[in-house]
Structure 1
Amino acid sequence: MDKIQTIKERIFFFLEKKGIKKETFYKETGMSSSNFKGAALKSDLGVDKLAKILIVYPELKENENLIWLITSNGELNLHSNQGKDQPAAELQHEDTHEKLGDLLANLFAQYNTQDKSILFVQNQISRIEKKYDEAILQQNKYLEEILTLAKLVAK
């Protein structure tokens, strides 16, 4: 199977495999279809939206499914792990919640860092544009002075 590029595309793959209509997904999660169309399909999914999806579709919280959903590593496993004894299942459930929290915290930290980096670059670009505009104005003044002097010399 080819790697699916974005979390949103992996969510659609999950829905297809489960036979869940997109409209049902939008209704159950309270999300707008516009977040999953066109260019928005390639954009990142917010941590709050991802958390909502994991609440509505708890099978995605299973360790291997969560790793697949967030990183695209591994494969989606839709087979239920029924038959395990209850204490082991509870420990795995707690472990999964802890890992989910860690993954979401790391994801949020990465987005936060990227946002700060983008803001820094935008500020640098603005400063460079301002200096460029000032240099062009100064250059135009010099050209006007040269033309004025050239006209005086020509007379």
Structure 2
Amino acid sequence: MDKIQTTKERILIFLATNGIKKETFYRETGISASNFKGAGLKSDLGVDKLARILRVYPDLNDNLVWLITGEGELLSAETKKDHQNDDLYANDINDKIGDLLANLFAQYNAQDKTLMFLQSQISKLEKKYSQAISEQNKMLNEILSAMKTSVK
């Protein structure tokens, strides 16, 4: 199978493999169809949406490494049964899942802090801009007033 580029594309493969209609998926997860079409298909899937999908489709938890990284393959029900008794495999997958989720959470927090900082900076700039405009208008009014007085 060709390497799928995005998590969203892998979700679509999961749906097709399991005979789940896209409309059913959108309804059950509350995620808009536009997230899986055109440019939306190439954008990142937020952690909140991924968590929602995993709650609705718990079978994807067994495929989390494949879903997030594209490594490995989508495990079928038969493959999952083969691995249920393999504790080493299960521990390895759980470690990878934990690492992936910790990494996603760290990225999410970093982006959230960056956004808060940027919003703060924008707010400060807007305030300075407003003050500068106010000062400029005050000076213009003084100049116009002085010009009117000198003309008389």
Deviations 1:12-45 (A, max 9, x none): 1221133233355568xx522xx14214854424
Alpha-carbon distance between aligned partners in 1 of 2:24 and 2:8, rounded to the nearest angstrom = 15
Q: Which residue of 2 aligns with 1:112?
A: 109
SS state at 2:29 partner? coil
Alpha-carbon distance between aligned partners in 2 of 1:85 and 1:31, rounded to the nearest angstrom = 28
Aligned ranges 1:2-151 → 2 under 5 Å: 3-5=4-6, 7-22=7-22, 25=25, 31-32=29-30, 35-39=31-35, 42=43, 43-46=45-48, 48-49=51-52, 51-52=54-55, 55-61=58-64, 66=65, 68-72=66-70, 74=71, 76-78=73-75, 80=79, 86=85, 89-151=86-148
Offset at residue 77 of structure 1 (A): 3.7
TM-score using structure 2 length:
0.75
Distance 1:141 1:110, change over 3 A: same
Alpha-carbon distance between aligned partners in 2 of 1:147 and 1:125, rounded to the nearest angstrom = 32
Alpha-carbon distance between aligned partners in 2 of 1:135 and 1:102, rounded to the nearest angstrom = 49
Offset at residue 120 of structure 1 (A): 0.4
Which letter maps to 1:115? D
Offset at residue 4 of structure 1 (A): 3.4
Which letter maps to 1:113? A
The answer (yes or no) to whether the contact 2:10–2:67 under 8 Å persists in 1 is: yes
Offset at residue 53 of structure 1 (A): 5.6
The answer (yes or no) to whether the contact 1:14–1:76 under 8 Å persists in 2 is: no
Which letter maps to 1:44? G
Offset at residue 103 of structure 1 (A): 0.8
Unpaired stretches in structure 1, ≥5 consecutive residues: none
Alpha-carbon distance between aligned partners in 2 of 1:151 and 1:118, rounded to the nearest angstrom = 49
Distance 1:121 1:83, change over 3 A: closer
Distance 1:95 1:53, change over 3 A: farther
TM-score using structure 1 length:
0.73
Distance 1:12 1:50, change over 3 A: same
Count of aligned pairs: 142
Alpha-carbon distance between aligned partners in 2 of 1:45 and 1:84, rounded to the nearest angstrom = 27
SS state at 2:117 partner? helix
Unpaired stretches in structure 2, ≥5 consecutive residues: none
